[in-house]
C-alpha cells in the first residue's frame, strides 16, 4: 500500500479530486460538506490501474486549521499538491509547501484542478516554479477537472509514477504509529488510526503508549476497510486496542514497540530555512524563543536555544519518542508561519553549563549535520564513551565501537584514555594508601565513571593491572611493603623462626608499631599468616604445626597439642580450628583431635 497526502489551499477542489479518484467522500463532517471547507483530516482509498493500492490523507487548506494539516502530512512520505486553475497560487499554498519542504517530503505530484473553468497553464507554471525552489525539485504535473473527469487517466498515470518512486519501507523496523484519531466503537472498544511508515503490526502483539508508558494489546487490525491479522508498512491502519480508554489517547500520541524508544524532552537539531528561502534558519535574528514543534501527528511547545551555525537546542513541553534523523518543523502560530525545518541530530545531548559550551556544541553539531549515521554514532559514543545495543537502537543509530562485555561497546579512543587514567589512578592510590594492596573496584568505577564492575576488571586487564579480592592492584604491590613496616615484619620473622608458635601479643605488636593496617598489608604480601584476630604466625605456620601434631599419638587433646607446639592456649585453640577448617585435622565427638592421613 502507498499513502499520499492531498494538500493545497483549495479545499473543495481537493476533496472533489479525492472523491473522483476513490469514489469516497473524504470530508467526514456534514459541516465540511455543506461549507465546502475541510476542517479536519479526511481519509479515502482506491486501487490504481495495475493493482497498486493508494490511501489518501486529505488535509485542511484553511489557515485556521494548519495544526490539523500538519498532523496529516507529518508521517506521510508523498503528496498530491492541488492548485486551482481559476485561482492560481495562494498564500495558503505557500504555507503548505513550506511545511512539506520543512518536513522533508521529497516525492510530489502537482494536480491543477478545475481546468474546465480556466486555462491551467499559468497556475501550473507558477506552482512548478515555487515547488522547484524547494527540496522537492522538479515535480511532475497533471491537469484535471473534477467536474468533467478530464485528465483522470493522466492523474492515474502520474500517481503510479509517484508511488513507484517511493523508497521501500522496512517491515522489521520498530513501530512508531503516530495517532491522528482515537475513538470508541460499540462492541470493540478503543480504536486508534494512523499512518504506519515502518515496521509491522500484528494482532495479539503488545504496544507501548508513548504518553504514559502503559502497555496495551492489539485486539484487532484493519486497513482500507479490511480486517487483517498483520499489517506491514506503509499503510493506513486502524488498531483496536485492549487495556486503554480512547480518551487516554489523543492526536499526537504514539503507539510504540515496547522498550525500544527513547522518550526525550531535550534534543539538539539542525535548522533549515523554511520555504526554500535559501537562508539558514539558525542565522535569522527573528527566530522566536518559543515555538511549536510539529513531528508526526504531534504538536508540542518548544523553547528554542540557538547554538549558532544553524543549530539549536529544543526543550519540549512534554517528552516525545524521537530518534536521530527524524525530520520535523518549528511553527510560529502567532505569525502564522513556518519558522524552520528541523533535523534531529542528538536525542540525549550533553549539558551546557560551562562557559563557551554552547559555542563548542555548535561546532560539533555542524560536523554532524551532513554526516552518515555511522559517523553520528561514533561521535555520540566518543562523547558518552560507553553505550549498550539497546541505547544505540533507541537513538536510531547503528552499533559502533569495541565490545567490552555485558552488551556494552566502547569508543576505542575513550578506552585508550581510560587505560592511561586507570594506571595513573592506581599509582596515586598506592602512594596515598601504601598499606593497602589496591584500590577497591567500586571506587575505581566511580572515579573513572565506568558503567559496571565488569568493565573495571576488563580495563584493568588491558592496563596490565591484577585484580585481587575486589581490588585493582599495582604490579608487584602484593609483595612490597613500605620501609618501616618491612623492618618491623623482618624483626617479627626472626622471633617466629626461633619460636614458630609463640605468636606475639598485642603489647609486642605495639612495640613494633604493627597496627591492624600494617598487619593486613603483611598478610596480603604473604609475609604473615593470620590465624585469628590478634594471632599471627609465619606464612608456613599451619604446615609446621601439622608436622608436629602428626608425631603425637592419635587422637590427641588440646593440652597435648599446646605442649607439643610450645605455645599458649590463646594460640593453640584458633590454630586447631584453622587446621580443622582446612581439613588438615579433624575434631572428634569426644573433643579430641587427630591428623587426617592421605588414606583417611
Domain map (residue ranges) of the chain: 2-164, 176-256, 263-369, 540-600
Say if residues 277 and 203 touch (Cβ distance below 8 Å): no
pLDDT of the residue at 480 = 63
Assign 569 to helix, strand or coil. helix
What does the alpha-carbon distance between residue 424 and residue 429 come to, in Å, rounded to a whole number? 9
Could you tell me if 56 and 2 are in contact, meaning their C-beta atoms sit under 8 angstroms apart? no
Residues of the chain with pLDDT under 50: 11, 29, 32-35, 37, 274-285, 598-600
CA dihedral 94, 100, 101, 107 (to 10 degrees): -120
Q: What pLDDT score does 422 carry?
A: 94
* pTM (2 d.p.): 0.75
Q: Do 176-256 and 263-369 have matching folds?
A: yes
| pLDDT for the residue 435 | 66
Peptide bond connecting 234 to the previous residue in cis, omega within 30 degrees of 0: yes
Q: How far apart are CA 119 and CA 113, in angstroms?
A: 10
Mean pLDDT of the chain: 86
Distance CA 477, CA 456 (A): 18
CB 311 within 8 A of CB 322: no
| 3-class state of residue 546 by DSSP | helix
- pLDDT of 476 reads 60
Contact status, residue 113 vs residue 82, Cβ threshold 8 Å: yes
Q: What tens digit of pLDDT does each residue of 290-317 get?
A: 999 999 999 999 999 999 878 999 999 9
Q: What are the grid coordinates assigned to 162, written together?
A: 509517484
Q: What is the pLDDT of residue 528?
A: 87
**Matching CATH number, 176-256, of 3.40.50.150, 2.40.30.10, 3.40.50.2000, 2.60.40.1930:** 2.40.30.10
Give residue 89's pLDDT.
87
Model pLDDT, residue 356: 85
CA angle 186, 190, 196 (to 5 degrees): 130
Enter the CATH code of domain 2-164. Answer: 3.40.50.300
Specify the DSSP element, H or E, that contains 415: helix 412-432
Domain 540-600 architecture: Orthogonal Bundle (1.10)
Q: What is the CATH number of domain 263-369?
A: 2.40.30.10
Amino acid at each position: 500500500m502507498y499513502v499520499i497526502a492531498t494538500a493545497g489551499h483549495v479545499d473543495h477542489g481537493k476533496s472533489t479530486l479525492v472523491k473522483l479518484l476513490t469514489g469516497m467522500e473524504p470530508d467526514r463532517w456534514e459541516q465540511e460538506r455543506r461549507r465546502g471547507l475541510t476542517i479536519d483530516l479526511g481519509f479515502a482509498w482506491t486501487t490504481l490501474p495495475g493493482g497498486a493500492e493508494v490511501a489518501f490523507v486529505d488535509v485542511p487548506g484553511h489557515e485556521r486549521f494548519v495544526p490539523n494539516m500538519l498532523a496529516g502530512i507529518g508521517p506521510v512520505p508523498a503528496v498530491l499538491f492541488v492548485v486551482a486553475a481559476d485561482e492560481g497560487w495562494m498564500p495558503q499554498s505557500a504555507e503548505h509547501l513550506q511545511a512539506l519542504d520543512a518536513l522533508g517530503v521529497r516525492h510530489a505530484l502537482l494536480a491543477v484542478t478545475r481546468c474546465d473553468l480556466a486555462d491551467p497553464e499559468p497556475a501550473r507554471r507558477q506552482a512548478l516554479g515555487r515547488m522547484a525552489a524547494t527540496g522537492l525539485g522538479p515535480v511532475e504535473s497533471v491537469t484535471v477537472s473534477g467536474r468533467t473527469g478530464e485528465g483522470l487517466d493522466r492523474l492515474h498515470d502520474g500517481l503510479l509514477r509517484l508511488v513507484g518512486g517511493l523508497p521501500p519501507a522496512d517491515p522489521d523496523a520498530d513501530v512508531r504509529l503516530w495517532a491522528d484519531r482515537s475513538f470508541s466503537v460499540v462492541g470493540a472498544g478503543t480504536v486508534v488510526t494512523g499512518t504506519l511508515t515502518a515496521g509491522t503490526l500484528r494482532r495479539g502483539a503488545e504496544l507501548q503508549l508513548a504518553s504514559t508508558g502503559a502497555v496495551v494489546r492489539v485486539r484487532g487490525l484493519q486497513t482500507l476497510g479490511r480486517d487483517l491479522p498483520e499489517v506491514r508498512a506503509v499503510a493506513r491502519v486502524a488498531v483496536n486496542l485492549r487495556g486503554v480508554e480512547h480518551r487516554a489517547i489523543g492526536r499526537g500520541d504514539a503507539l510504540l514497540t515496547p522498550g525500544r524508544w527513547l522518550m526525550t524532552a531535550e534534543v539538539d537539531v539542525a535548522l533549515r530555512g523554511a520555504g526554500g528561502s535559501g537562508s539558514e534558519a539558525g542565522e535569522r535574528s527573528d527566530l522566536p524563543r518559543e515555538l511549536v514543534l510539529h513531528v508526526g501527528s504531534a504538536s508540542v511547545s518548544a523553547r528554542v536555544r540557538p547554538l549558532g551555525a544553524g543549530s539549536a537546542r529544543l526543550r519540549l513541553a512534554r517528552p516525545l519518542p524521537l530518534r536521530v534523523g527524524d525530520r520535523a518543523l518549528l511553527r510560529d502560530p502567532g505569525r502564522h508561519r513556518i519558522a524552520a525545518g528541523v533535523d534531529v541530530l542528538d536525542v540525549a545531548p550533553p549539558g551546557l553549563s560551562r562557559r563557551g559550551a554552547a559555542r563548542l556544541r555548535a561546532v560539533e553539531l555542524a560536523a554532524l549535520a551532513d554526516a552518515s549515521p555511522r559517523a553520528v554514532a561514533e561521535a555520540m559514543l566518543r562523547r558518552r564513551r560507553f553505550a549498550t545495543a539497546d541505547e544505540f537502537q533507541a537513538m536510531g543509530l547503528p552499533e559502533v565501537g569495541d565490545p567490552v562485555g555485558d552488551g556494552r561497546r566502547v569508543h576505542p579512543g575513550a578506552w585508550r584514555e581510560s587505560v592511561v587514567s586507570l594506571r595513573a589512578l592506581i599509582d596515586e592510590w598506592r602512594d596515598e594508601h601504601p598499606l593497602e594492596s589496591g584500590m577497591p573496584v567500586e571506587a575505581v568505577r566511580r572515579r573513572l565513571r565506568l558503567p559496571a564492575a565488569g568493565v573495571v576488571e576488563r580495563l584493568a586487564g588491558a592496563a596490565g593491572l591484577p585484580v585481587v579480592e575486589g581490588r585493582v592492584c599495582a604490579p608487584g604491590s602484593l609483595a612490597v611493603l613500605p620501609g618501616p613496616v618491612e623492618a618491623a615484619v623482618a624483626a617479627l620473622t626472626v622471633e617466629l623462626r626461633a619460636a614458630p608458635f609463640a605468636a606475639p601479643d598485642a603489647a609486642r605488636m605495639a612495640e613494633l608499631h604493627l597496627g591492624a593496617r600494617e598487619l593486613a598489608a603483611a598478610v596480603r604480601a604473604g609475609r604473615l599468616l593470620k590465624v585469628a584476630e590478634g594471632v599471627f604466625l609465619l606464612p608456613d605456620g599451619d604446615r609446621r604445626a601439622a608436622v608436629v601434631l602428626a608425631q603425637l599419638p592419635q587422637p590427641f587433646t588440646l593440652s597435648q597439642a599446646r605442649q607439643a607446639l610450645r605455645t599458649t592456649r590463646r594460640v593453640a585453640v584458633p590454630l586447631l580450628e584453622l587446621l580443622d577448617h582446612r581439613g588438615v585435622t579433624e575434631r572428634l565427638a569426644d573433643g579430641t583431635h587427630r591428623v587426617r592421613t592421605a588414606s583417611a
